[in-house]
Chain A
Amino acid sequence: MELFIQQLVSGISIGAIYSLLAVGYALVYSVYNFTNWAFDGFMAFGAFMAFTGITSLFMPFWLAALFSIILTVILSVGTEKLAYSPLRARKAPRLFMMISAMGVNLATVNIINLIYGGVFRKFPIDTLQPIFIKGVSIGRMDLMAGGISFGVLALLWVFLYRTKWGLGIRASSIDIMTASLMGINNNAVAIVVFAVTGVLSSVAGVFYGIKYAVFPMMGIVTIKAMIASIVGGLGSLPAAILGSMILGILETMVSGYISSTYRDLFSFLFLIIILLFFPNGLMGKSSGEKL
Chain B
Amino acid sequence: MSSEILNVKNLTVDFGGVRAVNNVSIQLEPGEFVGLIGPNGAGKTTIFNLITNAIKPTAGEINFKGKNILGKSPDRICQLGISRTFQNIRLFPQMTAYENVELGFHSAPQYSLAEAFIRTPRARRIEVDTRKKAMELLEMVNLKEHSHARASSLPYGLQRRLEMARAMATNPELLLLDEPAAGMNDDECNDLIKLIREIHTTMHYTMIMIEHHMNVVMDLCRDSRIYVLNLGSMLAVGTPTEIQSNPDVIRAYLGEPKND
Contacts and interface: CB of A to CB of B under 8 A. Distances in A.
B106 A183 contact: yes
B41 interface: no
**Interface of chain B, helix or strand or loop or mixed?**
helix
B104 interface: yes
Given A182-B103, A185-B75, A171 B116 contact: no
Contacts of B86: 178
B104 A290 contact: no
Interface in B198-253: none
Interface stretch (B12-20, B91-99, B189-197): B91-99
Given A163-B113, A165-B109, A177-B54, A182 B94 contact: no
A178 B76 CA distance: 13
A183 B170 contact: yes
B104 A183 contact: yes
B83 interface: yes
B110 to A, nearest CB: 10
Contacts, number: 79
A255 interface: no
B104 to A, nearest CB: 6
Interface string A278-291: 00000000001110
Nearest to A161: B99
A71 interface: no
**On chain A, which size bracket covers the interface?**
20 to 34
A109 to B, nearest CB: 32
B116 A163 contact: yes
A182 B113 contact: no
A174 B166 contact: no
A181 B99 contact: no
Contact of B94 (A155, A158, A179, A288): A288
A164 interface: yes
A184 B75 contact: yes
B79 interface: yes
A175 interface: yes
Contact of B102 (A159, A167, A181): A167
Contact of A182 (B73, B93, B108, B166): B166
A183 to B, nearest CB: 3
Nearest to A291: B94
A137 interface: no
Contact of A171 (B83, B103, B109, B170): B103
A290 B94 contact: yes
A180 interface: yes
Nearest to A188: B75
Contact of B83 (A158, A182, A186): A182
A224 interface: no
Contacts of A162: 116
A186 B76 CA distance: 10
B93 A174 contact: yes
Contacts of A183: 75, 78-79, 104, 106-108, 170
Nearest to B82: A181
B103 A184 contact: yes
A100 B54 CA distance: 26
A184 B107 contact: yes
Interface of B: 52, 54, 73-76, 78-79, 83-84, 86, 90, 92-95, 99, 102-109, 113, 116-117, 166-167, 170
8 contacts: A163-B117, A164-B116, A167-B102, A174-B95, A175-B90, A181-B74, A182-B166, A184-B75
Interface of A: 155, 158-159, 162-165, 167-168, 170-171, 174-175, 177-186, 288-290
